[in-house]
Structure formats: structure tokens, C-alpha cells
Structure 1
Amino acid sequence: TRKIPILDEQGRPRFLLGISEDITEKKRIEQALREAKEAAEAASRAKSDFLANMSHEIRTPMNSIMGMTQLLLETQLDQQQRLWAEIARNSSESLLDIINDILDISKIEVGKLELEKTPFDLFPTVEQVTDTLVIKAREKNIELLTRFGPRTPRYLIGDPVRLRQILINLVGNAIKFTTEGHVAILVDRYDSSADKATLSFQVEDTGIGIPPDKVSYIFEKFTQAEESTTRKFGGTGLGLAICRKLTQLMDGHITVSSEPGKGSQFFFNAVFPIDPSAFRYEKPAPDFSFLRIVAIDDNAKNLSILQEYFSAWKAKAACFMQGEEALAAMACAAEAGEPFHMAFVDYHLFGMNGKAFAAEIHTRGFPGLQLIAMRNCDPGNLKELEADGFHALLLKPYCPARLAEKLAILWATRRQSAAAPLLTRYSFLHDKEHPDANHAIDYSHLKILVAEDLKPNQIYMQALLKKYRCPVQVAANGVEAVHFVQRHDYDIVFMDCQMPEMDGFAATRAIRALSLRRQPFIVALTADAMQGDRERCLGAGMDEYLNKPVKAEKIAQILDTYARCCHVPASLFALR
């Protein structure tokens, strides 16, 4: 009710006008809206909690399945046993991919998916994508290629894990729907800003293509191009929907161009700040103007990539799709007094293959020529390549930095004996990048505590660390972990976050409150995979964060990082 005084001519109130309004319905609607909002917020919280719990409940047994299968594969197995174990490992990895897709799309729906901002190197990020999928490409005899435009910056700031996820989804799909030909990742830069780069990524294939009427909805959840495709090729139909959201979070967008029977091209762009410390690592483009190179490959895409790289480095290059044409050009160049220095030849060249080409080279005699075999993914028999007279092996796909490094090393060693060992990808990499599985690095000077309540995960972590000769103790809960740290001087504590009696967060805070001679390096092991989990772990005082399933290479990286950062020789550890 509202009351309004009515005044007389002298301004004195004569009577009161009252206006009454029934606002019962209005209040009912407001109350209903409040309740609906609270219910929606509660549902969102419940969904987030459910996702976190499901992530933990699923990833915990997956950690044991995948870990123990990998350890099994590192034992002495006969051919049949190895096949079965590899099937189990590959199937568990496929299951984890599906689980991750479901969790990611759920995070998107509740607004929990955010991107990291960390410095990263673009070249190895893309290389990790091809390394992940190279076996699938090799099984189908598909050439996997990469190409980086000359203006593409290497050192950026962003989320390399999510960028890899987009590329793995797109390249994995391309391999799945391609039966012959190639799948290529093409990267370019199309802006000129000094502090950030807009990169364009293209994944092209020579596969079955997508019908025009299906293109418009393939980025929707749970959809694929055809029902028959779902039955034949499998998949959840979530991958492209996730890719679309991730590209949007990277200030970009994703599109597709396709022609049935000829293949597809997926395009996406993303914006990354350039790492301000990049000047410390960036190298000027190499100058190979003194080199004369011939390249032979029946794959036109790979030839064009090689030609682009060689031209950017000022090398004089001639490219051919047939060995006979290349031999004729090489003979003419030799007669003119300008012989080629190097010949890159695809080992599985159609017609005159690499073996026959090498034999013809030695029959005709091209003194000083260095022969480089190109093979698709699989190095094959290296002794056979050496016997054929090849000086080096270039595995496809390759990044420009690796190719340039190989050219420089070949030129520097051109006068060595013909008996010099074959130059491969691994010849000039640091040994720790590709350690021999049977000769793991010795970390016996590091004292390790594993805090984990589940017996299968305890066994896995003990077996994994035993490979590196680490002395390991196991605590079954947070209370035991704190007790052990009080009594022993550990270098590293692998701390499960969810344990009975005292969880990993409380245990870490308790350890950090202790007056110790030195604090251990605490690594979170968590089956949670929600946004903010990493921050929560670091906020509790942990130094590093690993998601389950925990992979052996991640543990090796932790051990290596700790050993290098501490700079404490093994002899000093022995004095404790």
C-alpha cells in the first residue's frame, strides 16, 4: 500500500489518498526465481562434485591397469604374450581417451574448463602429437607429415597440453578415416604483432571425406558424419565438440573443408603471446647457400615441404618424383662441374626404390655424395641401410630444426670414413631423451617415500621406482607419511591426495610445519582432473602435480629434474 497526502490551498493536508496493490503474485514469482537460481547453482555444484568424484574413481583403477600392463611389457614375454599385453595396453589407453572426452565435455558444460598460461616450445609440442600417433599411421601405411611456415615462432606462452589435445583429436580422426596417402599438419603465422602470434593450423588428409550436408553439424556433441561411420570407425562423437571449445578459449575458431572421396582439411587458428625470453633461444635461419641437394619422393606433399625448407635456407635444391629423373639430373650436374652434395631419397619410392637407387649411385659413381634415406615413421633395419650405402636416416615426420641440424652434421662429417656409423634421429639427441629401457638411469642415491592407500598403486609405484634403483618406503595414509618424514630424511615424497585418516593435503601441510633439516620435494598424485586441482595442490605446499594414470616417463622426469636441480653428488648422499 502507498499513501499520498492531498493538500489544500494553504499547503495543509486535507485527506490521505491510499493506493493498494496486490503483490502476492509478484512475490511468488520472485521467490520462485530465487529458488530456481539456488537449485541451478546447487545442481551445478553437485555436477562438479560428481565429476570430481567420478574422475577419481575411474582414474584410480586405470592407473593400476595401465601401469602394470606397461611393466608387464618390459619383462621377457613370448610373441603371443606380448601381443595380448599390447592389446590390453592399447585398449586401456583408448578407454582413457573416452573417459577424458566425457570429463572434458562435462567441464565445458559447467564452465570449469580453463587454459594454462605457461612458456612452451611449439616444435616439440607438435612432434609429441606425431610421436603419439605414429604407430597408428604406420599400421595403415599412411605418411604422417608436418610443415612449419618460415615465420612460425617456436617459443610461446599458452597451454601446450590443450593444443596437443586439439591436434591429437584432428590427426587421430584423419588417420582413422584415411586408408592411403598422407595426413599432414601445416602450421603458419598470419599476423605481424611483436608480442603475440596468431597461428593457423591445418590438418589435411587424403581420406574418405565428409558429405557436404553433414559438414555443418560435425562439431556438435555426439555426432559423426554418418551412422554407418559410427559403426565402422567407432568414437564418441565428442572430440570435435571439445576442439571447437578449446579453439574458442584460445581466441580462435575451427572450420572444415572436405570433398567426399578426396579428403578433408580442418583449419583452426589460435592466439598465443610470444615468450618474452624467446630471444635467448631463437637462432637465426641457417644459411646453406653452399649446398646442392637433390630430393626424390613420390609423395608430392613431402617434396613441397622439403623444397620450401631448402629454399628458405638458400640451398640449391632439385626435387623429383622418380629415381630415374633424379639420376639423369645428377649426371648432368656432375658433368657441368656442380655435383650435388646430398641426396634425400624415399626408401619406399615407387618404381626404383631407395635400395635400387643407392645401388645405382654406387655403380655410376658420384664421389662425395651423401645419401640420406627417408622412411615413414619406422626406422626399419639400420644395418641394412648402412649396407646399402646410406649415410643418414630421416624419419618422417620431421620438424625444420631437426632437418637443419641433420644437414649441418652431415656437412661437418662429410670427409669422415665411409665406415662412420649411420646418422639417425637419436645420434645427436641427449641420451636422457631416449633412455634404453633395459639400462635405466641409476637414482639409487635418492630416498623416496610413496604415500598411497591402495595396494595395486603401491605395487605399481614400487615396481616403477625399482627400475631406477630408488630405495622406496610406502605409507598407507597421511598419518603414516608424516610419521615417516619425521624419522627419515627423504628426497622426494609421492603423495596421493585422497587417503583415509589424513588426506594428502593435510599431510603436506603437516610436513611443511615440521622443523626438518631440509624439506622433501613433494609430488601430488591425484586422480582428480578438474580445473583448480593443480592450484589446490600447490597451495597446500606441494612442489609438483601428476595426474593419474601416472606414466613412467613422468616419474623419470621428476627424478631427473630433482637430481639436476639439487646438484648433490651421489657420494654425499651415501654419507647420511
Structure 2
Amino acid sequence: MTEKRHSPVILIVSDSMINIEQLRSALISRGYLSVWMDITQTTVLKTTREKFDLIVLDVELSATNSIEISRKIQDEIQLPGVPLIFITPVEDEGRLLQMFRPGEFDYVQKPFKLEELIIRIELHLAIKRAQDQLRASKDIAEKAANAKSLFLANMSHEIRTPLNGIVGMVDIMKQTKLDKDQREYLNIIEISGETLLMIINDILDFSKIEAGQISLEKIAFNIREEIGNVKKLLAYKIQQSKLEFIVSIGDSVPKTIVGDPLRLRQILINLLNNAIKFTERGYVKLDVSLDKIIGENYKLKFEVEDSGIGIAPQNRVKLFQSFTQADSSTTRKYGGTGLGLAISKSLVHMMNGEINVDSELGKGSRFWFTAVFELTTMDVEGGDTSEIVGAFEEPLKILLAEDNEISAKVSMISVKKLGHNVVLAQNGIEALEMYRKEHFDLILMDVQMPEMDGIEATQEIRKIESETGNNHPIPIVAMTANKYSEDAKLYLESGMTDHLGKPFKPVELEMVLKRNLNLNRV
């Protein structure tokens, strides 16, 4: 069905009846509707409900204050998005150029030719129609993007919440007494759960990148500590693969840099996961070096080398494309979405770097990328996070705000396994009441909860601290199923101090406790 379009309505403002009748007749013959009023009536235009597509203003602008007069008339009768054409005897082109802006205001000099005025009217109406269509298309696109973003956020939460129970309980069960068969079954569940989680991560991240919804953080971090965290997160896979894992960080690499450690970690884990997956024997090596200093910035180079299956020359061009792998046999044997390298490429470009690969079939591969980080004089202490419990003289008291029964059970057991005490609140209101009544060292705050969500509860807690003059605000860690969510910035702005994605590994919980509780503990 074609869209029904109204006849353009043109307002003619003039004190000359001869000009008005001549112009109205020409407009009507071309299917336009016209409305007339004189100069004295224009003040009502700001309050009228009449909608005009274009205004023709017949006015004398030959006086020395012509610019001021034109501005006054424009302010009185110009409506947003409506073109305005002056009919004026002004002959000074320089003054006219000061008065009119192309696309918004135009003019025809007296004595005017009707044909010229009609052409200008039709040109501006065509431009206005195109602009209206663009605005409508933009509105539709923005609504679609917002709907997609909301859908992805909901799907992320709905999918990750049960996965949190699977991955979390597997970690917990592996710390109990198991026979050989039971441990093998659990390993299968763990590998399957992690594979599913990686696929979900890839799809959600790729969708966010396509929608332009990913932005990089700028925070100071210890590069060696971050590499240590990557190594720790991959420790189990490395152990299972029986590969030699080598990490080398050049002496010229600065201790502390400013950038996005989460996204850097994501790229490194992606490349290292691939290296481990496609290497049956031998080694996987990560090398970090200083490429160059650019003004006030460091350009670092990261190289991931393996002794794996390698890549044929004709297949290398496919590697960084979306939904593709080297060849179909690779997909069948090793699985994967084919999105990991495409996501890594996008993130590297956001870091003002480049990414590529050197490889020979059957002789391994070397993936490398560069990234630019800012200099900083801030010193961020790094260190071993393997023994977090030993960092505290006594067990800590932690408040967990979580409405999902399974997620709550996983989190509570994980905290207790670290040797700490935990109290459960099933929504934000309960968390607020417990905070008022008892002392806690840290709050693990789920973001999405009924009655009062985590952000509201955090804001209320910060308000109480401000009113009571509390100079040691309690650390509040946002727990969300959006593991790589750009909403993390919103959580921090609301008063939260950190972010823990679900599902989480025990080592990730350890790192969060170390970052927050060690700093707060006296």
C-alpha cells in the first residue's frame, strides 16, 4: 500500500495583493494549498496549530537595519524545519549572504519572475520531503536498535542465569570427593558449559559491535597483573592440554598503563584459546613488548605463537571475517562461531592498533596485534592472587543480594569456600534493611532484582553513608549476567565500586575480593 501524502501547504506573508493573487494562482494550479496573511498577523504563528510546509515572505529589506529586521521576522514566524523564502528588493549580495543560510532560508530579488520563485519553492519542498523521510528512517532505525539492544540484554540475562548455576556448581563439585568416572563426567559438563558460554559471548559482543554500543574504558592498570590474570583464567585448559605455556614480557614494557583491561584480556584470551585449541603438542607462547612511544602514548605489541596445525595461505584472508573459519573441516572438527577473530579485530582497531597473522600449514601460527595505551604516573600494585584467603587476618562478612535461588546458592558456596561468611538478601529492600542493622565488609549486589533493583539499593546505601558522615564507604560489587556489558559504567556511576559478571569462576571472585576488600580492610 502506498503512503497517502498531503498536498503541501504554503504560507504567503505579504501586504501586496497583486503578488499574493499571482502567486496563489500559480500554486493552486500545481496542486499546492496556500494560506495568506499580512505582516501584522505573523505574531500568531507561534501559537497556531496550522502546519506549513514552506513560507514565502514578501518584505522590504532595503533599510540599513535590514539584517535586524530579517532576524526579527524569522524569529516571529519561522517554524522548526520549515523553509523560508524571502521576496526582497535588496541588491547588496554581501548583506544577503549574511542574512540567509542555504537549506534553511532563501531569497528571490524583486522584481521577481514567477517561474524562478516556483522552481525555488519546489526545490525546497523536495529537500524538505527528503529530510522528513530521513528523520523518519532514523527514528525507525533508532527504535529498532533500542529494541535489539533491549532484546540482547534480556537474552543475555536469561541465558547466563541458568549457565551460572551449571558452571558454578561444576566448580564447586570438583572440590568434593569424586571417583574417576564422576570427575570425567564433570569435566565434560564443564567443557560443554564453557563452550556454550563462549558462543553466547561471541554472539552478544558481535551484535553490540555492529550496533556501535561498545566503548572502551580508560583506567590505570598493571599490565603484568593483567597478564597473570589471563594465565590464571586459562590455567585449567593449559593443564588439560599438557602444552608448554610460556609468557614473556619485555623489560621496556611499562608497569602501569591506561586503557581497557577487560577488552585487552578478552582479545588475549581469544587468541590464546585458539592457540590451545589448534595445538595438539608442543607449546603456546605469549610475548609482550614495547613497539614504540608515540608522544604521550605507548604502543605495545602482543604476540601469541603456537606449534599447532597452522593455516594455509589461501585461508588466512578469511580469518578476520565474521562467521568464517579457515575451512569447513576446521568448523566440523573444532567447532566455534567464527566470530572471535572478527570481534578481536574490531576491538584492536578501537585501541588504535592492528592485528594480523603469520603462519605456515603444519608448522604453527603467530597471531599478533598492537594497541595504544596512555602514559600514567599512577602506580597500580600488582601481585599474586593465588592465596586470597591468606590476605585477611580473619573471615570477612559479606552481604549477598540475589533473587535467583540457584545463583544465590552458587555465590554463597563460592564465598564460603574462600573462608568467608555470607548473608543472603533476596532483593534490594532486604539488602537495605540488613545494611542498616548489621556491619558487612562488602556487598555482592545483583543488578536485576524485584521490588528494588541493585542500582536503586546502592544509591540508597550511598545516601545513608553521606547522611551519617561515613568516610569508609562499603565496597559494592555489581553482579550481572551481562558479563561484558557496557552498562558497567552505569553501575560505577550509581555508586558501585566494581563489577563481577555471571557466570563467574572462583578465581574471578577471588580477584574481585582482593581488589576491593584489601583496599578497604584496616
Same fold (TM over 0.5): yes
Contact 1:451 1:493 in 2 (8 A): yes
Contact 1:5 1:17 in 2 (8 A): no
Give the match for residue 221 of structure 1.
322
**Cα distance between partner residues in 2 of 1:62 and 1:545:** 18
Deviations 1:260-287 (A, max 9, x none): 2222222211112233245x989xxxxx
Give the match for residue 374 of structure 1.
none
SS in 1 for 2:317: helix
Give the match for residue 79 of structure 1.
180
Give the match for residue 297 of structure 1.
none
Alignment of 1:503 with 2:456, yes or no, is no
Shift of 1:135: 4.3
SS in 2 for 1:271: strand
Contact 2:401 2:444 in 1 (8 A): yes
Shift of 1:496: 1.2
1:551 to 494, 499, 505: 505
Indicate the percent of aligned positions where both proteins have the same amino acid.
Answer: 42
SS in 2 for 1:190: strand
Aligned ranges 1:382-397 → 2 under 5 Å = none
Query: Any unmatched runs of 5+ in structure 2?
Result: 1-22, 24-55, 59-86, 91-108
**Cα distance between partner residues in 2 of 1:70 and 1:565:** 27
After the TM superposition, which of the residue ranges 558-567 and 541-550 deviates more from structure 2? 558-567
Give the match for residue 6 of structure 2.
none
Deviations 1:224-250 (A, max 9, x none): 111111111111101110111111111
Cα distance change on mapping 1:484 and 1:137 into 2, 3 Å = closer
1:449 to 387, 399, 405: 399
**Cα distance between partner residues in 2 of 1:484 and 1:477:** 11
**Cα distance between partner residues in 2 of 1:484 and 1:141:** 48
Amino acid at match of 1:20: I
Aligned ranges 1:36-115 → 2 under 5 Å = 36-115=137-216
**Cα distance between partner residues in 1 of 2:371 and 2:144:** 33
SS in 2 for 1:209: coil
Contact 1:199 1:271 in 2 (8 A): yes
Shift of 1:47: 1.7
Shift of 1:536: 1.6
Larger Rg: 2
**Cα distance between partner residues in 1 of 2:182 and 2:167:** 16
Cα distance change on mapping 1:454 and 1:26 into 2, 3 Å = same
Shift of 1:141: 4.2
Contact 1:144 1:182 in 2 (8 A): yes
Shift of 1:563: 4.9
Contact 1:6 1:17 in 2 (8 A): no
Alignment of 1:474 with 2:424, yes or no, is yes
Contact 2:388 2:514 in 1 (8 A): no
C-alpha RMSD of matched pairs (Å): 3.2
**Cα distance between partner residues in 2 of 1:15 and 1:193:** 63
Contact 2:286 2:304 in 1 (8 A): yes
Amino acid at match of 1:450: L
Contact 2:214 2:486 in 1 (8 A): no
- When normalised by structure 1's length, the TM-score is 0.65
State the number of aligned residues. 412
**Cα distance between partner residues in 2 of 1:83 and 1:176:** 19
Amino acid at match of 1:152: V
Shift of 1:566: 4.3
Give the match for residue 464 of structure 1.
414
Give the match for residue 524 of structure 1.
478
Query: Any unmatched runs of 5+ in structure 1?
Result: 8-12, 283-428, 569-576
Give the match for residue 118 of structure 2.
20
Contact 1:52 1:530 in 2 (8 A): no
Deviations 1:119-146 (A, max 9, x none): 2232333343344445444544433223
Give the match for residue 244 of structure 2.
143
Contact 1:52 1:529 in 2 (8 A): no
Contact 2:291 2:301 in 1 (8 A): yes
Amino acid at match of 1:452: E
Contact 1:53 1:528 in 2 (8 A): no
Alignment of 1:179 with 2:280, yes or no, is yes
Cα distance change on mapping 1:29 and 1:497 into 2, 3 Å = same
Shift of 1:562: 5.3
Cα distance change on mapping 1:258 and 1:215 into 2, 3 Å = same
Shift of 1:109: 0.6
Shift of 1:118: 2.1
Contact 1:119 1:156 in 2 (8 A): yes
**Cα distance between partner residues in 2 of 1:562 and 1:149:** 29
**Cα distance between partner residues in 1 of 2:325 and 2:129:** 45
After the TM superposition, which of the residue ranges 506-515 and 490-499 deviates more from structure 2? 506-515
Amino acid at match of 1:196: N
Amino acid at match of 2:262: V
SS in 1 for 2:448: coil
Alignment of 1:434 with 2:434, yes or no, is no
**Cα distance between partner residues in 1 of 2:441 and 2:170:** 28
1:153 to 236, 254, 257: 254
Amino acid at match of 1:114: S
Cα distance change on mapping 1:161 and 1:27 into 2, 3 Å = closer
Deviations 1:409-459 (A, max 9, x none): xxxxxxxxxxxxxxxxxxxx96x62369xx997744x33322211111222
Give the match for residue 334 of structure 2.
233
**Cα distance between partner residues in 2 of 1:544 and 1:15:** 71
Contact 1:440 1:468 in 2 (8 A): no
SS in 1 for 2:359: strand
Contact 1:112 1:530 in 2 (8 A): no
Aligned ranges 1:311-326 → 2 under 5 Å = none
**Cα distance between partner residues in 2 of 1:538 and 1:442:** 29
